[in-house]
Amino acid sequence: MLALENLSMRFGGLQALDRVSFEVREGEIVGLIGPNGAGKTTVFNLISRFYEPTGGRISFYGENLLRLRPYQIVERGIVRTFQLLGLFPYMTVLENLMIGEHRDFGGSLLSVALGLPRARREEHDRRAQALWLLRFLKMEALADAFVFALPYGTQKLIELMRALLARPRLLLLDEPVAGMNAAEKAAMREFIRRINHDWGITVLLVEHDMSFVMGLCDRIVVLNYGRVIAQGRPEEIQQNAEVIEAYLGEGVGSARA
């Protein structure tokens, strides 16, 4: 569904990405890994259209994504989360979730201002949908809490819920378990599996936690210094000499879990 072909990105003298090519197929969970500075988040920022690549193309179901503006990406069904949280700190949990539903709001400015029935119904339905998801995850008590007051792991989960409310076909997760403890990581892994399996959402994720990636992903793409040095199933990646060297004893082998 998503294809990157010879994607290159240059920041001044730094070649952040060098002819990166890989595909994400429908229904997969794909992990994008690599040492710090390998260019993983740059890949996300290119797919989100925050950066203009210096070369190559990105297509989604055959459509050239490079023709779109960042806010149009979500309409195609690609939704992302952010490494350092993209939540709005001065909004409540419920309000944050309703931003995830933004693309489903269509009432005109005038109908909103006048409080016309259509605008009211829209607001009511979207609120109900967001509350449903909160209840589904047994988090309804948090609906009116301000986001900045919540634990980091909870914030990560809320950001993921918000992304789900945007009805993604492809979900891009930037370090979904960074800063989480073991129990939170296990819960997150289970949640991503369910999203993928039960709801049919394809996932591309960047993560440093090797055992998390190896235990969750169907396929892994390894970046090093802006190049793809390996891709394949977790078992294959763990055996790959070049990958082990790139991590220099960071313990891809020992992370077999």
Whole-angstrom Cα Rg for the chain:
19
Q: Nearer Cβ to another protein, position 53 or 234?
A: 53
CA 133 distance to own-chain centroid: 18
Burial 44-79 (b: 16+ CB within 10 A, else e): bbbbbbebebeebebebeeeebeebeeeebbeebbb
Nearest distance in Å: CB 149, another protein: 13
Q: Going by C-beta distance under 8 Å and a sequence separation of 6 or more, which residues neighbour residue 114?
A: none
Beta strands in 13-65 (DSSP E): 14-24, 29-33, 55-60, 63-64
Q: Footprint of another protein on this chain (CB under 8 A)? A: 48, 50, 69-75, 79-80, 82, 86-91, 95, 98-100, 102-103, 105, 107, 109, 112-115, 119, 122-123, 126, 144, 162, 166
Q: Nearer Cβ to another protein, position 96 or 224?
A: 96
Nearest distance in Å: CB 247, another protein: 30
Helix (H, G, I), strand (E, B) or coil at 166: coil
Q: Letter for the amino acid at 194? A: R
Nearest distance in Å: CB 41, another protein: 12
Q: Nearer Cβ to another protein, position 125 or 245?
A: 125
Nearest distance in Å: CB 153, another protein: 19
Q: Nearer Cβ to another protein, position 172 or 237?
A: 172
Nearest distance in Å: CB 72, another protein: 8
Q: Nearer Cβ to another protein, position 88 or 225?
A: 88
Inter-residue contact 251 to 243 (CB < 8 Å): no
